[in-house]
Amino acid sequence: MKKNYWLLFTGLLLCSCVTAQVFSKNQHLTRQDTLRGSITTERAWWDAVMYDLTVKPEFTNFTISGSNIIYFKIVKNPASRMQIDLQEPLTIDSAWLNDVPVTFSRDGNAWFIDLPNRKMPKSLPQNQYTSGALQQLKLVYHGVPKPALNAPWDGGIVWKKDEKGNPWINVACQGLGASVWWPCKDHQGDEPDSAKINIIAPDTLMNISNGKLRSVSESVNGFKTWTWFVSKPINIYNITMNIGKYAHFNDTLMGENGKLDLDYYVMEYNLEKAKKQFAVVKPMLRAFEYWFGPYPFYEDGYKLVESYHLGMEHQSAVAYGNKFMNGYLGRDLSGTGWGSKWDFIIVHESGHEWFGNNISAKDAADMWVHEGFTNYSETLFIDYMYGTEAGNAYVQGIRKNIRNDAPIIGTYNVNKEGSGDMYYKASNMIHMVRQIIGDKSTFRMLLHDMNEKFRYKTVSSNEIEDFISKRTGFNLSKMFDQYLRTVQIPTLEYYLETSSGMQTLYYRWNDCIKGFNMPIKLPGNSHGKYGLMLATEQWQKMRTNFKEDEDLQKLMDKNFYVTYKKVK
């Protein structure tokens, strides 16, 4: 979801296939980028604990109005101001700090709440949602939010009508930010522990948001308030509303942590299609629990919600718009046939529940942690359903979508992601980690342990890289630097030498960063028996029984995303 790479809106949509917010390359960085993407002095002293959001969209004039009560803790001496984010042209009308009116000012999309005498009023007592002494900031706002021109890539509020002419409102704001439609601390490094979402909608329609439905009010002047509650930490770009003429059906899954509620919301006229297409959900969740460990949000349940746009990984309320087709809108992105056997949006966006929603990147520059692992979840789903060779074929097939146009890791502290290669290239890099580990159960344990260690946490790329190196027993830092921070694909150069009737294979890395030392599987004989070798920039050798004129490239392990080159 959200990436700094070229976007093709026509033809095949190329391979910006996963629902990602994107930015143009070489975009000029501004003060607004720094205010949005960094931990400013006005952000650093407080920690968001819970959001209590109330929003009323007006379909007739495409406006919204509402309020947000921010419960927060002080983590260091307060600055003189508090930064809140709300994007133009939305406007904050009033602010109260612990029920005391406070003044505020605006700098573009950043708003600064003045703290009286730099001293915080008396802390609030404990409340029913969270524990600890909290502070409370209430903001009232209104305005015309940015409309989504081509959601989810060019995101915002989606104002559409369904096939029957009923209003249909969705949200898609990854990368762009939650502040495009409500005031918040819009930085991935600070997730609230919980969220209450109150959406006021026409009483002829439904609203579906994240978490569990707490209540639906009585109709007042033709409107009802739908109150949803998220009990686990949530990346706030995931907070959503879906207002429409929905039909609902449900199921349950007996998973690793007990009974998991499965709820499905689709347009009434798509109900039968959905019942057939959504049958993949149960085997998919079993596959992901097998590979990653328990679904992270049993308390909040799992939902698929039909959206006008293609889809998004909204936590516990996955947006689905793949038109009830297998593949990606009917296409196999790998070109192997394996991608046509399942619904891409259901599998990919649900994989984000583990990577992106359970484990979240602190900075948008490290979004490969979301997208690389989630892209690889597609391969693991295929592996679980159809076997390892099918999974291998799929991950090798998606390499054709890699552009090597820019490094995968973006620019820190300015809310800028790197290349869209964070999907396919990062996925292939993870696949190589699996090959280096060699043992399927050990690789599973790595993914289980990762989801447990970083459960409900925000992380940096370096933390994930260090964790993988330590858990595998291989220092893979140079591999991560090569694939995440450069556009070079390393070349394994090799040649054969015959002496006294014996064949010796010489090999080394080229087209690589200094010190590159990634292990690789090399065939030890012409029957394809492989051994894991630590290749470096220096020539190394191994005894073989190849024929001198044998085409070794046909025997090289295709699970490694590298180039092979025979030299003299």
Q: Is the distance from CB of 134 to CB of 123 less than 8 angstroms?
A: yes
Q: How far is CA 361 from CA 137, 356, 407, in A?
A: 26, 7, 17
Give the pLDDT band (50/70/90) at residue 27. low
DSSP letter for each residue of 84-130? EE--TT-EEEEEEETTEE--EEEETTEEEEEPGGG-PPPPB---SS-
* 243 burial level (CB within 10 Å; 0-12, 13-18, 19+): buried
- Would you state the structure tokens that stand for residue 513, as one six-digit string? 């960063």
Query: Averaged over 236-242, what is the pLDDT?
Result: 98
Distance of alpha carbon 198 from alpha carbon 275, whole angstroms = 28
Query: Averaged over 111-117, what is the pLDDT?
Result: 91
So what's the pLDDT on residue 437? Answer: 95
So what's the pLDDT on residue 550? Answer: 73
> How far is residue 361 CA from its own chain's centroid?
9
* 56 burial level (CB within 10 Å; 0-12, 13-18, 19+): middle
Instruction: Please count the other Cβ atoms lying within 10 Å of the Cβ belonging to residue 58.
Output: 12
Distance of alpha carbon 338 from alpha carbon 343, whole angstroms = 11
Residue 238 has pLDDT above 60, yes or no: yes
Query: Averaged over 387-398, what is the pLDDT?
Result: 98
Instruction: Please count the other Cβ atoms lying within 10 Å of the Cβ belonging to residue 116.
Output: 13
Residue 23 has pLDDT above 80, yes or no: no
Query: Averaged over 218-235, what is the pLDDT?
Result: 98
Query: Averaged over 228-253, what is the pLDDT?
Result: 98
Q: 407 — alpha (psi -120 to 50), left (phi > 0) or beta?
A: beta
DSSP 459: E
Q: Is the distance from CB of 226 to CB of 216 less than 8 angstroms?
A: yes
DSSP 29: P
Residue 16 has pLDDT above 50, yes or no: no
So what's the pLDDT on residue 12? Answer: 35
Give phi and psi for 339, each to the nearest 5: -75, -5
Q: Is the distance from CB of 46 to CB of 14 less than 8 angstroms?
A: no
Query: Averaged over 255-284, what is the pLDDT?
Result: 98
Distance of alpha carbon 513 from alpha carbon 502, whole angstroms = 33
Kindly state the percentage of the chain with pLDDT values over 70.
92
Residue 290 has pLDDT above 70, yes or no: yes
Residue 121 has pLDDT above 80, yes or no: no
So what's the pLDDT on residue 132? Answer: 43
Question: Tens of pLDDT along 31-41?
Answer: 999 999 999 99
SS3 of the chain: helix, strand, coil, percent, to 5: 25, 35, 40
Question: Tens of pLDDT along 520-542?
Answer: 998 877 776 788 999 999 999 99
Q: Exposure pattern of 469-497 as b/e (b: 16+ CB <10 Å)?
A: bebbebebebbbbbbbebbebbbbbbebe
- Would you state the structure tokens that stand for residue 222, as one six-digit string? 């033709």
So what's the pLDDT on residue 122? Answer: 56
So what's the pLDDT on residue 25? Answer: 46
So what's the pLDDT on residue 131? Answer: 39
Question: Tens of pLDDT along 139-189?
Answer: 999 999 999 999 999 999 999 999 999 999 999 999 999 999 999 999 999
So what's the pLDDT on residue 499? Answer: 81
CB contact set of 145 (below 8 Å; sequence gap of 6+): 62, 63, 64, 87, 90, 156, 157, 180, 181
The predicted model scores a pTM of: 0.92
Among residues 23, 37, 50, which one has the least CA distance to residue 155?
23
So what's the pLDDT on residue 338? Answer: 98
Angle, in degrees to the nearest 10, between helices 461-472 and 424-437: 20
Q: Which residue has better confidence, 65 or 124?
A: 65
Kindly state the percentage of the chain with pLDDT values over 90.
85
CB contact set of 11 (below 8 Å; sequence gap of 6+): none
Distance of alpha carbon 67 from alpha carbon 225, whole angstroms = 14
Query: Averaged over 226-253, what is the pLDDT?
Result: 98
What is the sign of the dihedral through the CA atoms of 162, 164, 165 and 169? negative
Structural element, H or E, at residue 171: strand 167-172
So what's the pLDDT on residue 7? Answer: 34
So what's the pLDDT on residue 9? Answer: 33
Q: Is the distance from CB of 343 to CB of 169 less than 8 angstroms?
A: no
What is the sign of the dihedral through the CA atoms of 28, 33, 39 and 44? positive
Question: Tens of pLDDT along 462-492?
Answer: 999 999 999 999 999 999 999 999 999 999 9
Angle, in degrees to the nearest 10, between helices 461-472 and 368-386: 40
Which of 163-177, 199-213, 346-360, 520-534 is predicted with the least confidence, judged by mean pLDDT?
A: 520-534
Distance of alpha carbon 295 from alpha carbon 285, whole angstroms = 8
Cα Rg of the chain (Å, integer): 25
